Amino acid sequence: MSHFTRLLTLSQRNLVIAAWLVLTCNAAFFHRLLELTPYDGWRAGVFLGATALMLIAYFASFLQLVTWGPLARLVQSLLLLASALTTYFMATYGVGIDAGQIQNMMETDAHEVFDLLSWQMLACVLFIAGVPMLMLWRVPAAPASWRATLRSKAIAIALGLASILALAGWHYADYASTFREHRELRYLMVPHNYLAGIKRYYSKMAAPPNMPLLRYGEDATWISAGTTKPTLFVFVLGETARAESFGLNGYARNTTPELAMRGVINFPQMSSCGTATAVSVPCLFSGMTRADYDPKLASHREGLLDILQRAGYATTWIDNNSGCKGACDRVHNVPVLAEKKTQWCRDGECQDDLLADTFDDYIARAHVNDRVVVLHQQGSHGPAYFRRYPDAFKRYTPTCDSNALQSCTQQEVINTYDNTIAYTDHILGRVIDTLKAQADRYNTVMVYVSDHGESTGEHGLYLHGAPYLFAPSQQTHVPMVMWISPAFAQQGSPVSCLREQAQQPQSHDTIFHSFLGLLDVKTSTYKAALDWSAACRKR
């Protein structure tokens, strides 16, 4: 083996690595392609074989272009490591990789990374990346002059392009129709998927640093209702909860008993702006709809909280998650209570009773004036669902007490996830009770909506972040509930009317405008057509 590897030039090594990546990292791609191919038997084998050869030629040609001189082994190693990690996540969670998944990776924090680590991941990386990297670093490539290297690369690229044209032409009609109608295939092709995702992320989504802040809603004014008590409006921003797991939405398990007891207004047909926090959170605060959402613009333009603050509301963000994705950068941020972390935190992650305790403490200390408070939950964030709730909420068993979901049965995963929903129900019940206790001081409102949903094994998918076009309903259909005090309802928002509006199809697109409407903020950015409360207000 050692004598053989010494004979390999850089171009030949690129070909070997390309073949290795195609054969070890693309099982999901070939499985999906086999499902879509019009052939069976040996014809299907020939079609898949031709596709594999075409991918080898494609990836080998790419490697010829990006590997040069002493940096070649480093580039090859990085591609092997990235491909191994990508393959693991695709195989484990059934996800495809696009720019949205790249954005999730770029904006994740240390705790979320820790939740994803497992021995299975290490084994996958050692096999896919470790074996060829051992060859790369133990035995240098055959020495060659720059002229010889250029000549061999040019020949390799020419042969690769010729092979691609010949193989693609052989099955042109099949490839053209299959890839045109099933664009999800490109998200399964390693390493093309993550390289294309990185390119798109930096060209379309990542905002350049130090961009000037754009003012938005500068004309915002508050139309005072003339009530004797100020308003306390609480927005609980949920995490990774899906509508179909809420008992209020007809789920077989009664996961939401406390909300049912408190007579909330339920929105059974709410859809999210994205399938990941990095998209949905800035989107719903931005004033843009999902159809016209521009992440670069949202990252450096004022949003809903800036407008409410300008209009005169004391605006506060309390976070038990990984941050607000820019939505709260210019409003008051209250840290969670340090003295309560011993009770509610473990392994560096804190359960949402800490968020509720912090809110209780904040309201008890705050001056009585018109306020908007956002509570950002840890919620049902996976894959370590078992860390999201106290032992008292281990209602559905057996559970998956591991972050390696593939080591558990699907029912164990579902049981554990449902426990997180039952815990969220408890937290929302606590918030409502706090608001009820403030009846002498405030007219109170609570709105809860999740940022996106979650897959727990349906269609072979786990977690979230699927491209929206192909995402299942579990990731896009999210729960939303509203509770309003009798005093707030009397000043202009009848509960019976709001219940009727809540039954209509809604989306994150309406959050921005409905909040402005409910809080009597007048601004040119407001669109009545996207305000589900507009038909119910008396003023």
The confidence band for 2, taking pLDDT boundaries of 50, 70 and 90, is very low
The confidence band for 6, taking pLDDT boundaries of 50, 70 and 90, is low
The reply to whether 105 and 9 lie within a common domain is yes
Please, which residues have CB within 8 angstroms of residue 412's CB and are 6 or more apart in sequence?
A: 398, 399, 400
Percentage of the chain surpassing pLDDT 70? 97
Q: What are the tokens at 341? A: 């972390």
The confidence band for 100, taking pLDDT boundaries of 50, 70 and 90, is confident
Query: What is the distance of C-alpha 341 from the center of its chain?
Result: 26
User: Kindly report the CA angle at 180 between 177 and 183, in degrees rounded to 5?
Assistant: 130
Please give the pLDDT value at position 227.
66
The reply to whether 459 and 528 lie within a common domain is yes
The reply to whether 424 and 309 lie within a common domain is yes
From residue 260, give the alpha-carbon distance in Å to each of 228, 291, 437. 30, 33, 19
The reply to whether 143 and 104 lie within a common domain is yes
The reply to whether 52 and 112 lie within a common domain is yes
Answer yes or no: is 215 within a domain: no
Q: Does 81 have pLDDT greater than 90?
A: yes
The reply to whether 356 and 424 lie within a common domain is yes
Q: Are the beta carbons of 379 and 406 closer than 8 angstroms? A: no
The full DSSP string for 262-275 is TTPEE-TTEE-S-S
Answer yes or no: is 210 within a domain: no
**201 phi and psi, to 5 degrees?**
-60, -50
Q: What is the mean pLDDT of residues 83-94?
A: 91
Q: Does 106 have pLDDT greater than 70?
A: yes
pLDDT per residue as tens digits for the range 133-165: 998 888 877 888 888 889 998 999 999 999 999
- Lowest mean pLDDT across 66-80, 217-231, 321-335: 217-231
Q: Is the peptide bond before 467 cis (omega within 30 degrees of 0)?
A: no
Q: Across all residues in the chain, what is the average pLDDT? A: 91
Rounded to two decimals, what is the model's pTM? 0.87
The confidence band for 4, taking pLDDT boundaries of 50, 70 and 90, is very low
Please give the pLDDT value at position 5.
42
Q: What is the mean pLDDT of residues 272-301?
A: 95
Answer yes or no: is 339 within a domain: yes
- What's the CA gap between 106 and 323, in Å, rounded? 13
Give the domain-ending residue among 188, 205, 222: 205
The confidence band for 469, taking pLDDT boundaries of 50, 70 and 90, is confident
Please give the pLDDT value at position 207.
66
pLDDT per residue as tens digits for the range 8-55: 889 999 999 999 999 999 999 999 999 888 788 888 899 999 999 999
The reply to whether 183 and 55 lie within a common domain is yes
Answer yes or no: is 405 within a domain: no
- 370-408: burial string, b at 16+ Cβ within 10 Å, e else: bbbbbbbbbbbbbbbbbbbbeeebbebeebbebbbbbeb
Q: What are the tokens at 499? A: 């219940």
The reply to whether 253 and 122 lie within a common domain is no
Give the domain-ending residue among 156, 190, 205: 205
- Note down the domain range covering 377: 235-400+411-536
- Lowest mean pLDDT across 96-100, 343-347, 485-489: 96-100
Identify which has the larger pLDDT, 347 or 166. Answer: 166
The reply to whether 313 and 375 lie within a common domain is yes
The reply to whether 102 and 39 lie within a common domain is yes
Q: Does 116 have pLDDT greater than 90?
A: no
Q: Are the beta carbons of 455 and 84 closer than 8 angstroms? A: no
The reply to whether 169 and 296 lie within a common domain is no
Q: Does 108 have pLDDT greater than 80?
A: no
Percentage of the chain surpassing pLDDT 90? 71
Query: What is the distance of C-alpha 30 from the center of its chain?
Result: 26
The reply to whether 251 and 367 lie within a common domain is yes
Please give the pLDDT value at position 262.
96
Domain count, the chain: 2
Q: Are the beta carbons of 17 and 123 closer than 8 angstroms? A: no
**Dihedral sign for Cα atoms in the order 186, 192, 194, 199:** negative
Q: Does 261 have pLDDT greater than 80?
A: yes
Please give the pLDDT value at position 225.
62
Answer yes or no: is 229 within a domain: no
Please, which residues have CB within 8 angstroms of residue 526's CB and are 6 or more apart in sequence?
A: 513, 516, 517
Quote the strand ranges of 118-277, DSSP E: 221-222, 231-238, 265-266, 270-271
Answer yes or no: is 218 within a domain: no
Query: What is the distance of C-alpha 379 from the center of its chain?
Result: 14
- Lowest mean pLDDT across 169-178, 269-278, 321-330, 482-491: 169-178
CATH number for 316: 3.40.720.10
The confidence band for 107, taking pLDDT boundaries of 50, 70 and 90, is confident
pLDDT per residue as tens digits for the range 385-400: 999 999 999 999 999 9
Q: What are the tokens at 448? A: 């809860």
The confidence band for 62, taking pLDDT boundaries of 50, 70 and 90, is very high
Answer yes or no: is 228 within a domain: no
Q: What is the mean pLDDT of residues 329-344?
A: 96
Answer yes or no: is 506 within a domain: yes
Give the domain-ending residue among 205, 226, 261: 205
